[in-house]
Amino acid sequence: MQYRNLGKTGLKVSEIGFGGEWLERHDEEHSVELIRYAGEKGINIIDCWMPDPKSRDIIGKGMEGNREKWIVQGHIGSTYQNGQYVRSRDLKHVVPAFEDILKRMKTDYIDLGMIHYIDSEEDWNKSMNTDYIRYVHELHEAGVIRHIGLSTHNPRMAKRAIETGFVEMILFSINPAFDMHPATENLDDMFGEYESGLSGIDQERAEMYHLCEEKEVGITVMKGFFGGRLFDEKTSPFGKAFTPCQLIHYALTRPGVSSILAGYDTKEQIDAAIAYETATDDEKDYASVIASAPLHSYNGQCTYCGHCKPCPVNIDIAMVNKFYDLAVMQPEVPESVREHYKALGTTASACIGCQGCESRCPFGVKVADRMIKTAELFGC
């Protein structure tokens, strides 16, 4: 298992994570065993947005004896009222629901205290500058939550969170279909019809990814498989089917992303996700699927897929393009971006213009021209 820094939290999380949403579908013994098995395989991050007692008990028992090895995303504002999930900012419900997480997970702290599910301006305003957000900060100051995170499906709200300065990481929905969809305050819109002719990543989402990377706000990924729709060409908006390995790789190549959290029903599904770590480049190749799709394409846009490799002078083209894209979104090149770019060692100025990379690019990116622009922008 490979591990990545989660932004500037100081935490290292497994590239493959555990989304706990499906745990209640099975008997407790089976689900507890799934968590223990995932831990044995190197998975160390688990999300618990679910307020129901069964799911929380399962996670607590699954981590028992190994709590320190797990990084838990626990949501503040996900409550259980009259046997139903209710998103709430009312402390009379929020406080006992959060305290219930600690009790059922048999722990006195949560690694990532998540401001739960803000997708709209209205909910942002109901959450910020209120007793709810003050409670989040009190938990953080007391060390009960080690870091403050936020979950959203809306890149505008994600950018708002980054700009607060206190949100250290974001749980965000990422897959190739969602990335083509404009920002919306209604998650159902993301699962609706995709119009023919959409092309490339939505600009607001691209800006959000790069802002996360610039500000070192880590991203963990939910809904990476689009509810399974991308596994079937009949339900995929692309008219092409993807494999789990391809979708995992897509998520992990987005700027700022540290881990993709998937739900599991069986040990075999855990093994299939972890197989990503030993997969070949061909098995990870999502770019060819997108490029050959009958309905959509990323023509002219770099997706950082790595098809351009190898470079005869050893330029890491995908990373150079990533830093170029990040830099041009700012009025001036941020010093942090400049330093990360220089740290690559071999920079764009080393390009000999052979254009071999362009012949391999699925999206027709004019790589040699971008290398010239990048060298001019960074001065090397």
Residues 6+ apart with CB under 8 A from 216: 7, 8
- Whether residue 78 contacts residue 115, with contact meaning beta carbons closer than 8 Å, is answered with no
> 61 φ, ψ to 5°?
-70, -35
What pLDDT score does 339 carry? 84
Residues 121-133, mean pLDDT to the nearest whole number: 92
CA–CA gap between residue 150 and residue 311 (Å, rounded): 39
Amino acid at 265: D
- Mean of pLDDT values over 274-284: 95
Residue 20 banded pLDDT, cuts 50, 70, 90: confident
Q: What sign results for the dihedral spanned by CA atoms 216, 180, 260, 113?
A: positive
How is 83-107 classified by DSSP, letter by letter? TEEEE---HHHHHHHHHHHHHHTT-
Backbone angles phi, psi at 258, to 5 degrees: -110, -35
Q: Is it the case that residue 256 has pLDDT exceeding 80? A: yes
Contact 45, 219 (CB under 8 A): no
Which of 19-33, 156-170, 180-194, 325-339 is predicted most confidently?
156-170
- Residue 380: closest CA among 322, 328, 320, 330: 320
Note the pLDDT of residue 192. Answer: 58
- Provide the pLDDT for residue 25: 81
Q: Does the pLDDT of residue 58 top 90, yes or no?
A: yes
Residue 194 above 80 pLDDT? no
Q: Facing residues of 72 across strands?
A: 46
pLDDT at 24: 83
Lowest mean pLDDT among 56-70, 76-90, 195-209, 242-256: 195-209
Work out the average pLDDT over 232-246: 88
Please check the confidence at residue 233 and state whether its pLDDT lies above 90.
no
> The pTM is what?
0.85
| Average pLDDT estimate for 81-105 | 94
